[in-house]
């Protein structure tokens, strides 16, 4: 399989509420929008991938302990302050984990858990032998 691109698709309970969260609270840039107003979809840039909000949940929504988003940022302390200022609900304050990453947890309006992470300069994820 030769994967050229990827994206995560979410079907929110309230599309407008989720659009406002990802656009205004998280501040994700919009890659494109499509469809008529009643079936509008929005694709956000998500670093090396994309996050698409489209359609509407047919049940209780996309929140599940099995679905999580992982968003790497340059500066977790700055991001924490920005998100608090924009009204994000912080589920767990930033802290250094045993595996060496700095993480905090938030949730989208449907309860999808989002890990916001900073990889410290000395973490093994930053080291690539031979590069």
Banded pLDDT at 68 (limits 50, 70, 90) = confident
- Residue 52 and residue 43 in contact, taking contact as beta carbons nearer than 8 Å: yes
Report the alpha-carbon distance of residue 97 to residue 77 in Å, rounded: 15
CATH of domain 7-126: 3.10.180.10
In the chain, what is the greatest distance between 2 CA atoms, to the nearest angstrom? Answer: 51
Per-residue pLDDT tens over the stretch 10-51:
989 899 999 999 999 999 999 999 988 777 899 999 988 899
Structure pTM?
A: 0.83
Tens-digit pLDDT profile for residues 76-119: 999 999 999 999 999 999 999 998 899 999 999 999 999 999 99
């Amino acid at each position: 399989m030769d994967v050229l691109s990827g994206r995560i698709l979410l079907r929110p309970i309230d599309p407008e509420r989720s659009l406002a969260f990802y656009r205004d609270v998280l501040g994700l840039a919009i890659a494109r929008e499509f469809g008529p107003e009643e079936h509008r979809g929005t694709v956000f840039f998500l670093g090396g991938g994309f996050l698409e909000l489209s359609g509407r949940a047919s049940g209780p929504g996309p929140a599940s302990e099995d679905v999580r988003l992982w968003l790497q940022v340059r500066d977790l302390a700055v991001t924490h302050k920005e998100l608090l200022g924009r009204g994000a609900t912080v589920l767990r304050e930033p802290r250094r984990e045993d595996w060496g990453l700095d993480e905090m947890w938030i949730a989208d309006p449907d309860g999808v858990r989002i890990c916001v992470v900073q990889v410290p300069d000395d973490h093994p994820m930053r080291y690539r032998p031979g590069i």
